[in-house]
Amino acid sequence: MAITDARQGDLLLIPGADGRPWFWHRLVAELDRRGCRAVAADLPKSADSTLDDYADAAAAAAAGDGPWIVVAQSLGAFTAPLLCTRLPVERLALVNPMIPSPGETAGDWWEHTGQGPASAEAAARDGRPAGFELVRDFFHDVPPEITEQAFADAEVAELGGVFAQPWPLRSWPAVPTQVIQGADDRFFPLDFQRRVVRDRLGLDQLTVIPGGHLNALSRPAELADALLSWSPAGPAAKP
């Protein structure tokens, strides 16, 4: 059943590698216009912070309310499932996610999934230069004034501890899981993400929306619509 009011599930927003709640500000405004409450977590910035520290910080941001729809961007998919033992979570919504396997580190995820070859193949197919470039590959569809704001605050999370900690869960939580993927994501191409989602979550369906890797900044209205109109078409992700 689609969400029609905030009491069916407030939204707890987990940023990606950037770590700043600012990342979600355009989505929060869209959700507010739709009558939904959203809380953006501020993650620890120190290099020795762990996934457990991230989950504790996100749970503290939720302030004990619920039930929650936990929305996670990219690297945030390593943290979001950990909240299922800390909060009443009714759904996990993963946006352009790095989906972990038990015992896997975020540092190893890239090689394990084949992200590098997949993004290089997509770049060649699209006629783009090889190799990752932050503005070209992340901000290509973000409005210039928002891109400028993103770089105005240089305080981003250091990720040494997070990338080194093996993902601590033995299986994916038995919670309905939605995967939202940007059709124009240059970092995690759509065909790559379909494979990873199928292999790791046992899900054949993705919610595909316009935009690149940073949909919350480039396409917040479409992202809000995708979050609020979703209903599970089948069972939750396989444990």
For residue 194, CA distances in Å to 118, 134, 160, 179, 232 come to: 12, 23, 28, 10, 17
Is residue 70 within 8 Å of residue 91, measured between CB atoms? yes
Query: Which whole number is the average pLDDT over 203-218?
Result: 96
In terms of phi and psi (left: phi > 0; alpha: psi -120 to 50; beta: otherwise), the region of 182 is: beta
Whether pLDDT at 187 is above 80:
yes
The pLDDT score that the predictor gives to residue 84 is 96
Q: What is the pLDDT of residue 19?
A: 85
Can you list the domains of the chain with their CATH numbers? 6-229 (3.40.50.1820)
pLDDT at 213 over 70: yes
- 84 against 157, higher pLDDT: 84
pLDDT digits (tens, 9 = 90+) for 127-146: 999 889 989 999 999 999 99
Region 76-99: mean pLDDT is 97
Provide the mean pLDDT of the chain: 91
% the chain with pLDDT above 90: 80
User: Residues 95-104, buried b or exposed e (16+ Cβ, 10 A)?
Assistant: bbbbbbbeeb
CA dist list (Å): 159 to 10, 16, 44, 77, 212? 28, 11, 10, 15, 23
Edge-to-edge strand list for the sheet holding 10-14: 38-40, 10-14, 68-73, 89-95, 177-182, 207-209
pLDDT at residue 65 in the model: 72
Residue 83 tokens, joined: 């909240």
* pLDDT confidence tier of residue 75, bands split at 50, 70 and 90: very high
Question: How many other CB atoms sit within 10 Å of the CB of residue 226?
Answer: 19
What is the model's pTM?
0.92
- Quote the pLDDT of residue 92: 98
Quick one: pLDDT at residue 101? Answer: 98
Whole-angstrom distance, CA of residue 73 vs CA of residue 216: 9
How far the first Cα of the chain sits from its last, in Å, is: 23
